[in-house]
Amino acid sequence: MFVDDPSPEAVELGLNTADPATLVIDLNCAFASIEQQHEPALRGRVLAIAAYATDAATIVSSSREARDLGIKTGMRVFEAKAIFPGVLVREPNPPLYREVSDKLIEIMERHSPDVLRMSIDEASTNLAGTPGLKKLGPEGVGLAIKRAIREEIGECVTASVGVSTSIWMAKQASNLDKRDGLQRIDHRNLVAVFERLQLTDLSGIADATARRLSRGGIRTPVQFLRATAPRLRLAGMHAEVARGWSMRLRGFEVGGFESVKRKSYSHSHVMAHATASQRELEELLMRLSDMVGRRLRAANRRGSIVSVGVVYRPDPGHFSKQAKQPEPVATGDEIYQAALKLLAARDPRLTVGTLGVGVSSLSDGEGGQLDLFVERMRPRGERLEAAVDAIRDRFGEDAVQRSRLLGRARVVRDRIAFGNTGHPDESRRNSP
């Protein structure tokens, strides 16, 4: 295949001039469209998927019909109702979404063994060395994946495909057309694409980062691309981070999609009815601790600092407390025992509307030295929790419960956080 020589501008900027071989597949309006495919009565409806069926809950997905009216992810339900009073609100169905996510991975692995599940509704694949890349080209493979999604998952579920030389740049390409699009970014059009975007359109650049860049005179993606090392330092960017962005913006792969590990894991719950009951708070704390522990183990991490946060209701005010643990923790029971001690410092006269548990100061799971006298017992407990994790991954949070919680109403439902698949192997290559 004939390839044009790189332009002088591409050479001057040091852009990656390789032929694109990376795809990012992003399911459009994922949770809502999956619900519409699963339940035909929902098709064509203004639909919002919210964390809970309350007006204060946050919307995590909205149908195409809802988005056309301005109802977007991150809004509260009451805000959506102000836009369209007839909006239909549903709570999430994580097992259904995981099933579709697994099907997407299966479809993509037909074209390449190198597949990365980036989140519940997004994945990337590297086509380098595959027959499909030579026979169909990256766009042809993208179209084949889109056809398979339509035929095997359903006509309501569409996907935007991005084609480029790196995962990050392919993700930018997939964001260019969120209505079943297929877009390519390479050295020929990269600058032209950046000229149409805002800084906050770039993945990884939130408002706070954009403000810091602005202090260094960087206000557009093209200025970011052309910024010198001194200019980036003026914006407060460390040298190593600046080098990473310099490569990323030029279409080079930079240590995988998530090059920086997260610094904490947490879960919180907004209660339908505020309570001061110690029993109810302990039971909720136990559930939240288990969920945080599951996420820690899925990432093979441990944490040394456990924290508890409380928002009182209706009385204004909040309470938070944290403590460093003698040894890094990862199991639900370890987190619960530490959090229970912290919760004891709350004001028992006030009713609690929101309760949260977090673990920070993280290290890799294999790090740290076990205490001499518990070393032999720790592996057995972790094997038990791993078995429980596997059951809950398949059947939901309440498939296995602590004896104290048996017969209790389900309080914390099975949830999928943004950027999380709910699978223990999330963000690994060659996902099964």
- Please give the full DSSP string across 235-253, using - where no structure is assigned: TT--HHHHHHHHHHHTT--
Let me know if residue 425 belongs to a domain. no
**The domain boundary residue, chosen from 169, 186, 203:** 186
The domain in which residue 214 lies consists of: 192-249
Strand bridging mode 301-312 / 352-364: antiparallel
**162 and 46 assigned to the same domain:** yes
Model pTM score: 0.68
**The domain boundary residue, chosen from 139, 167, 186:** 186
Q: Exposed, middle or buried, 351 (CB in 10 Å: 0-12/13-18/19+)?
A: middle
- Please tell me the total count of domains within the chain: 3
Q: What residues of the chain score a pLDDT lower than 70?
A: 1-4, 255-262, 365-432
**28 and 169 assigned to the same domain:** yes
CATH number at residue 356: 3.30.1490.100
Q: So what's the pLDDT on residue 33?
A: 97
**140 and 284 assigned to the same domain:** no
**172 and 236 assigned to the same domain:** no
**229 and 328 assigned to the same domain:** no
Let me know if residue 155 belongs to a domain. yes
d(CA 360, CA 266): 9
Let me know if residue 150 belongs to a domain. yes
**172 and 214 assigned to the same domain:** no
pLDDT tens-digit readout, 137-193? 999 999 999 999 999 999 999 999 999 999 999 999 999 999 999 999 999 999 999
